[in-house]
Amino acid sequence: MLDAMRKRADSVLLKILFVMIVLVFMFWGVGTMGRDKMEIAATVNDHVISRRQFDRAYQNLTNMYQSLGGESQPPADMLRNQAIAQLVATELLLQEAHRLGLEVDEGELRDSIASMSQFQSDGRFDKDGYLQVLQANGLKPADFEDLQRRQLLAGKVQEVVRRGVHVSDQELKDRFRYENERVDLRLLRLPASRFAEQVQASDAEVQKFYDEHPDRYREPERVSAQLVEFRAQDFAAQVTPTDAEVQAYYDARPEEYTKPEEARARHILFKLAPTASDADKAAARTKAADVLAQAKGGADFAALATQHSQDSTAANGGDLGSFGRGVMTPAFEAAAFALEPGGISEVVETPFGLHIIKLEAKTPARTQPLDEVRADIVAAIKTQQARQEALHAVETAHERVLDGEPLEKVAADLKLTVTTPAPFGASEPIAGLGVRPEIAREAFATEPGEIGEVVTEPNGYTIVRIVERIPSAIPPLAQVRGKVEADVREQKAGDLAKQKAEALRATLKTAADLDAVAAQETLTVEEAKQIGRLGGFVPNLGNAPDLKQAAFALTAEAPVAPAVYAVSGDAVIAVLGARLPADDTRFATDKPTLANRVQTQAENAAMKTFMDQLKAKARIEYGQGFAAAPDAAQ
């Protein structure tokens, strides 16, 4: 089938991981699938998806998630659903391809396989590498090529659907305005703490709350472990860098010891928005020219900056400190580095506004001599060599423990300590050690009584021995009574805050009423500005998705939000401050990125609709132990 391609192949990299090509045939099964005596996972319009195909797809999917190296892979049920859903979806696409008369010719198949980087050496298809990868995974070339042909065929159907999707300029502009509209809110927060002294928690209430919210008090699964740390710092005394090593380190890193030219400057900023009117620009230039004349006339520049500069440096007399090239905007940088110490620039315009710059000092570029940086180099080499010593020690110790020597004896021989911190969960800090995710990950991957793999961290290495695994459990009420009582009181105080807020909200008719209510209740009106539609976060308030959604329905005629919103236990009343339309002048700049995103979203939506239609028309039956799964990702 691919004889010509195979004949021109060159030499090969001997080892290519299976996970690199698993996506090519994850959802197809492997080899010839006879139907006899094979349990059925599903049938799609009388086409059988075998249990063997499902098992292979499920295993490959599991392998893929493991290879990604995340904190944890999805639950088994989720992976089962994903595997069966994708198998069904793929079969539907293949059947639709046959109905449409789509085909994959030999040239397309040959080019697709030749283009896979996993099968290339020096940029060219490599026959030996191709055959070795297939052989290592129990595949014959004909089987893999058939799988790849079917994947290409399914992809052709998807491409037909996606090519039919077009997003107009008006749709893009509408989306731009929708996404970039902003609102300002004025908020009145009634803290639950104001009502804390008014509430108590009875025994009955505590029991009821505990019974209704048991998982709130569930203790996570934990492990008890013995740890031996091989910290690089503990081996530093064993190494002494030689003069030759220090010189070699210095010579190999000239860029680290070359100090670029730097300037130290002050400035006076007159802020000017890019969209400022001609009148505003003229006024700012007039003011800047007046201050510039004072500065060049001998007035104290720092005092002028304190009086006139419109940024945070005003408090320090406009002091910007020292900076190199590439830090400031191009116009500012060019003006600053063109000055001599003590010099004052003309008015310089940048996207931030108008600047007057005074150069305080200029330091030329230079290379630090070895003697100046010797101490730093010695410390760096000691760290490197100490880490190597720690690695050698931990590898030797790990082998000894695996060979049966007691962990305590091995540690004692190296003058190290075996620590046994309090049991810890997968995402909990380890007592005395803090947050150590690498240790926790290895601990939970190791069975009780076993020694884990060596844990590698930035500061060294750790050997882990698991003593006990403690299952997750809900403690008895007596053990967590204090927490439950606090939760009951917090809930009751929050309810009182909400009731009070509801009564206050009912009195509001206009936005101005909020100030009167705040004064009456000795509360402060807060502001949340520039609230966008995306996400649930409200500035100066926190996560409040319901409030954010309501905010964009408010108008000048109906400015009061329709409900009281609970945020971190407090009750919040919201009133519209302002509606801020999108800045249409940004549309042309944002359009390319927006168009790509919206087109992709539209294509995905069209693909989902198409798949839903295929499923609705198809006869799909699931075998015993399989159920209709959620939609696979298209």
Give the 3-state DSSP-derived string for 72-109, with helices as H, strands as E and coil as C.
Answer: CCCCHHHHHHHHHHHHHHHHHHHHHHHHHCCCCCHHHH
Residue 179 and residue 531: Cα distance in Å, rounded? 11
Kindly state whether residues 60 and 158 are assigned to the same domain: yes
Chunked mean pLDDT (size 10), the chain, 634 residues: 37 34 42 49 92 83 70 74 91 94 92 86 84 76 87 93 94 95 95 95 97 96 97 91 93 89 96 84 94 96 96 94 92 95 95 95 93 94 92 95 96 96 95 94 94 92 96 96 96 96 90 87 94 91 93 93 94 95 92 95 95 95 71 47
Domain count, the chain: 4
278 lies in some domain: yes
Structural domain containing residue 422: 222-236+372-470
CB atoms within 10 A of CB 605: 12
Give the 3-state DSSP-derived string for 177-206, with helices as H, strands as E and coil as C.
Answer: HHHHCEEEEEEEEECHHHHHHHCCCCHHHH
Q: Which two tokens stand for residue 365?
A: 């570029």
Residue 203 and residue 173: Cα distance in Å, rounded? 60
Contacts of 104-110 with CB under 8 Å at 24 or more apart are: 104/149, 104/152, 104/153, 104/156, 106/1, 108/152, 109/1, 109/2, 109/145, 109/148, 109/149, 109/152, 110/2, 110/4, 110/5
Residue 598 and residue 583: Cα distance in Å, rounded? 19
Query: Is residue 141 within 8 Å of residue 617, measured between CB atoms?
Result: no
Kindly state whether residues 140 and 153 are assigned to the same domain: yes
Kindly state whether residues 301 and 382 are assigned to the same domain: no
- Residue 357: CATH number of its domain: 3.10.50.40
Quick one: residue 327, left, alpha or beta (phi over 0 = left, psi -120 to 50 = alpha)? Answer: alpha
Query: Is residue 272 within 8 Å of residue 409, measured between CB atoms?
Result: no
- At 542, give phi and psi (nearest 5°): 130, -160
Residue 275 and residue 281: Cα distance in Å, rounded? 10
458 HSE (CA, 13 A, CB side): 2
Write down the residue that tokens 């902003």 correspond to: 182
- Residue 84: CATH number of its domain: 1.10.4030.10
Kindly state whether residues 52 and 111 are assigned to the same domain: yes
How does strand 262-271 pair with strand 353-363? antiparallel
Last residue of a domain, one of 335, 364, 393: 364
Q: 0.75 exceeded by the pTM?
A: no
Q: Which two tokens stand for residue 628?
A: 């209709």
> What sign does the CA torsion over 366, 367, 371, 377 have?
positive
352 lies in some domain: yes
DSSP alpha helices (H): ranges in 510-586?
A: 513-520, 545-551
Residue 27 and residue 94: Cα distance in Å, rounded? 13
Last residue of a domain, one of 308, 332, 364: 364
314 lies in some domain: yes
Query: Is residue 70 within 8 Å of residue 59, measured between CB atoms?
Result: no
Residue 335 and residue 178: Cα distance in Å, rounded? 41
192 lies in some domain: yes
Kindly state whether residues 16 and 29 are assigned to the same domain: yes
Kindly state whether residues 530 and 464 are assigned to the same domain: no
- Alpha carbon distances (Å) from 569 to 165, 386, 498: 46, 51, 9
Residue 14 and residue 570: Cα distance in Å, rounded? 63
Write down the residue that tokens 């699938």 correspond to: 33
392 lies in some domain: yes
Residue 228 and residue 411: Cα distance in Å, rounded? 7
Kindly state whether residues 496 and 576 are assigned to the same domain: yes
Query: Is residue 41 within 8 Å of residue 50, measured between CB atoms?
Result: yes
H or E element: which one contains 573? strand 570-580
175 lies in some domain: no
589 lies in some domain: no
Query: Is residue 188 within 8 Å of residue 517, measured between CB atoms?
Result: yes
Residue 612 and residue 631: Cα distance in Å, rounded? 9
Kindly state whether residues 149 and 8 are assigned to the same domain: yes
Kindly state whether residues 315 and 340 are assigned to the same domain: yes
CB atoms within 10 A of CB 71: 9
* Predicted local distance difference test score (pLDDT) of residue 360: 96
Kindly state whether residues 150 and 64 are assigned to the same domain: yes
Residue 458 and residue 479: Cα distance in Å, rounded? 38
Which amino acid is present at 179? E
Contacts of 162-166 with CB under 8 Å at 24 or more apart are: 162/603, 162/606, 162/607, 164/606, 165/599, 165/602, 165/603, 165/606
Kindly state whether residues 8 and 133 are assigned to the same domain: yes
Q: Which two tokens stand for residue 626?
A: 């399989």
Residue 42 and residue 35: Cα distance in Å, rounded? 12
Last residue of a domain, one of 347, 364, 381: 364
157 lies in some domain: yes
Kindly state whether residues 43 and 186 are assigned to the same domain: no
Closest to 223 measured CA to CA, from 406, 440, 402, 419: 440
Residue 404 and residue 507: Cα distance in Å, rounded? 77
Residue 562 and residue 508: Cα distance in Å, rounded? 11
H or E element: which one contains 126? none
Which amino acid is present at 18? F
